[in-house]
């Protein structure tokens, strides 16, 4: 799981909570939640928590 910032043409970038997985040997991404409406401090804290959880897994 990770937080991704996806650019939009004429709009602010979308902040998405995503996971990657393999299907038939290809890497695919699944969007779990749109975090664009969250305050930036909460997005940073969520990203840090996910990173720590992946490290200690």
pLDDT, tens digit, for every residue of 39-55? 999 999 999 999 888 77
pLDDT of residue 56: 73
Residue entry with tokens 């840090």: 48
pTM: 0.84
How far apart are the C-alpha atoms of 40 and 48, rounded to whole Å?
12
Could you give the CA distance from residue 47 to residue 54 in angstroms, rounded to a whole number? 11
- Based on DSSP, count helices (H) and strands (E) in the chain, helices before strands: 1, 3
Digit-coded pLDDT (tens) for 5-36? 999 999 999 999 999 999 999 999 999 999 99
Instruction: Summarize the chain as % helix, strand, coil (round to 5).
Output: 30, 40, 30
């Amino acid at each position: 799981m990770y937080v991704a910032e996806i650019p939009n043409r004429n709009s602010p970038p979308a902040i998405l909570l995503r996971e990657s997985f393999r299907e038939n040997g290809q890497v695919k991404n699944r969007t779990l939640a749109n975090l664009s409406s969250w305050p930036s401090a909460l997005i940073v804290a969520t990203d840090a928590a996910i990173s720590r959880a992946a490290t200690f897994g």
